[in-house]
A and B are shown apart, each in its own frame.
Chain A
């Protein structure tokens, strides 16, 4: 998992509630990413950030929001607008966004909507 931490490991949410997933990295990486993983499937990109105070939508951004106020932190909020939020959420970081830098992943947060 390198220097990327995610919390909490498990999260339960009632329908209609917003929840925020934490992602912190001490690798001094500029770029950070959020992915969603559903059972037996690959990873899909939700949002990414090239640098502080900048972020862009990925392939499945609807119902999610992010912020990047600090280089080391990239929290993801799952809003009530997300129709099917139960999934495994993975945060990653890389040195830069440009080029082809290896992305390193955190341990993940499993979100369950009750």
Chain B
């Protein structure tokens, strides 16, 4: 079936460096993508989203890139800080299928001081 997955389960970066977390999806009809951050023992926190009519969207220190040709989504975090350490999930949905999100398995980001 259609699914959303991640390339790397764990990413370790040095404080101050930029982080890139990747996500692949297989549903060509997906038109909404979202990144969540989940700290240990807490609920997922919305970071940024992007719709399929865009290929880039920027937030505060974060940028999401969408490549529909290869069905690839990435989250870039600039100047990574210790507080960015968490598990990051991508999720996707299809407009015609309601608001049902399909989640990837998550990538753990570890920031070394």
Contacts and interface: CB of A to CB of B under 8 A. Distances in A.
Interface magnitude class on chain B: 20 to 34
A43 B89 contact: yes
Given A41-B105, A42-B89, A100-B93, A106 B99 contact: no
B95 A100 contact: yes
A105 interface: yes
Nearest to B42: A107
A108 B71 CA distance: 31
Nearest to A107: B43
Nearest to A4: B43
Nearest to B30: A100
A90 interface: yes
A113 B59 CA distance: 41
A41 B36 CA distance: 14
Contacts of B44: 43, 90, 105
A105 B45 contact: yes
A42 B99 contact: no
B43 A90 contact: yes
Contact of B46 (A41, A98, A104): A104
A27 B103 CA distance: 23
B83 interface: no
Interface of B: 31-32, 34, 36, 41-46, 49, 51, 89, 93, 95, 98-101, 103-106
19 contacts: A4-B43, A43-B44, A43-B89, A48-B100, A90-B43, A90-B44, A96-B99, A97-B98, A97-B99, A99-B99, A100-B31, A100-B93, A100-B95, A100-B99, A102-B49, A103-B99, A103-B101, A104-B46, A105-B44
